[in-house]
Structure 1
């Protein structure tokens, strides 16, 4: 098992892994408080019942595991039912934002820069493909505490998460179709990118005016990434800034797990990435 070296930069400020764990810990506590307020029974890492006070007193690692166990005990339908009124509130917010948005105009970028040693682009691609293929519904819970539902099917991903740490969770479908519109041009040193421009609310298929492009740049023994989510001009700035922290936690955890669970397909994807990089230099 290897531990990667990960450096995250947001708006010129470098975050240590301790900084990122502190952000994650606060969001774990936030979810505990919300679930308790909604009437959910909380569980510790062993599955035993616990109170909100007991949950908030847990150290980081045990709190993280306890939140995963609580979500597993609730199950997909239990989580959706628990949050049904709050999801409706979130839908209303997105209806207002979508109604006032011209797609692609004056978008607000949320950028996060990541530099990692110990995980290559190929390793990361292999890990994410395995995650989608294996249908491990708990892995997203470990990657971010504000992931509530994740299911890869129908050509995309059904995701319930709190977008930008802002107010209530959103239940959305992210369509992973071919040739998405990129919100910006790739950087000259980008090896490969993943873009998305199509998402909608699961409840009524209202289009969500959010775009994204994550750019990955190969380097020896690791990679650099420029993560970008682009929000409409009328989205709250708190959401835009909060999503930078969301990305920092999400990708730091995903890279850590990718290092621990390197796939036998990693060398294949690494070879493809090296070839692509060589061709782009010509």
Structure 2
């Protein structure tokens, strides 16, 4: 083996064995999801929250400090997904049902989803990663004044192309607003387009925004495919 050969990256190719379709990466993803589902089911919500209590305290402190040092200013980024074979109406109908009573489906969309639960006061509690930080926050509007930012957002798209819009503040239990979300959906000739915008405090590191754009891509891809499968 020459020096040039040893400097090349190692690749491994599956040439025979399994009879089912898929790559090695597909197999690994299947087993990783199965293991994660088992741990979630065994621990339950309380077990997960107990296990992550210290991480959540640290993550929420990060968000609170970021909001304070940003003085209420946020910067946004947008992930855009195109899907074929399902309309925005079909997807959003599934989403509405899931957010009311199918936490398992919501959690399964991303490995770093820990809790997704509606609260008694109308707020929706989410425990997930924001960048590298595990955080517990709430989603909701809380009145016209609180959501005035959405009408003036630079990322707001035309009503004719994206008629389905949802906006939310992201806030901690003490009411501190630590982020925002604006999701917009429209139909195409053969499916839908999803424009998914998240806003983080301006003082937060760039990786926080970048990783949430990736987070959006993973969770919404999986929610869309799950919604399509549920029609059968």
5+ residue gaps, structure 1: 1-17, 26-57, 264-282
Aligned to 1:59, the other structure's residue is in SS state: helix
Q: How many Å separate the matches in 2 of 1:111 and 1:101? A: 20
Q: TM-score, normalised by structure 2?
A: 0.79
1:191 to 139, 144, 163: 163
Q: How many Å separate the matches in 2 of 1:127 and 1:258? A: 6
CA gap 1:256/1:175 in 2 versus in 1, 3 angstroms: same
State the partner residue of 1:108: 75
1:201 to 157, 167, 172: 172
Aligned to 1:159, the other structure's residue is in SS state: strand
Paired residues, number = 201
Q: Is the aligned partner of 1:150 residue 2:120?
A: no
**Alignment map for 1:61-80 (pairs within 5 Å):** 61-80=30-49
Q: How many Å separate the matches in 2 of 1:110 and 1:144? A: 19
State the partner residue of 1:33: none
State the partner residue of 2:89: 122
Aligned to 1:234, the other structure's residue is in SS state: coil
After TM superposition, give the deviation of residue 141 of structure 1 in Å. 2.3
Q: TM-score, normalised by structure 1?
A: 0.66
Q: How many Å separate the matches in 1 of 2:105 and 2:221? A: 14
Q: How many Å separate the matches in 1 of 2:138 and 2:162? A: 27
**Alignment map for 1:15-30 (pairs within 5 Å):** none
State the partner residue of 1:140: 106
Aligned to 1:209, the other structure's residue is in SS state: strand
Q: Is the 8 A contact 1:213 1:227 kept in 2?
A: yes
Structure 1's consecutive aligned runs of 4 or more residues displaced over 4 angstroms after TM superposition are 176-179
**Alignment map for 1:244-255 (pairs within 5 Å):** 244-255=213-224
State the partner residue of 1:34: none
Please give the root-mean-square deviation of Cα atoms over the aligned residues, in Å. 2.1
Q: Is the 8 A contact 1:90 1:169 kept in 2?
A: yes
After TM superposition, give the deviation of residue 174 of structure 1 in Å. 1.0
1:168 to 122, 125, 133: 133
Q: After the TM superposition, which of the residue ranges 224-233 and 174-183 deviates more from structure 2?
A: 174-183
Q: How many Å separate the matches in 2 of 1:221 and 1:177? A: 36
5+ residue gaps, structure 2: 1-21
After TM superposition, give the deviation of residue 178 of structure 1 in Å. 5.8
Q: How many Å separate the matches in 2 of 1:102 and 1:178? A: 21
Q: Is the 8 A contact 2:155 2:197 kept in 1?
A: no
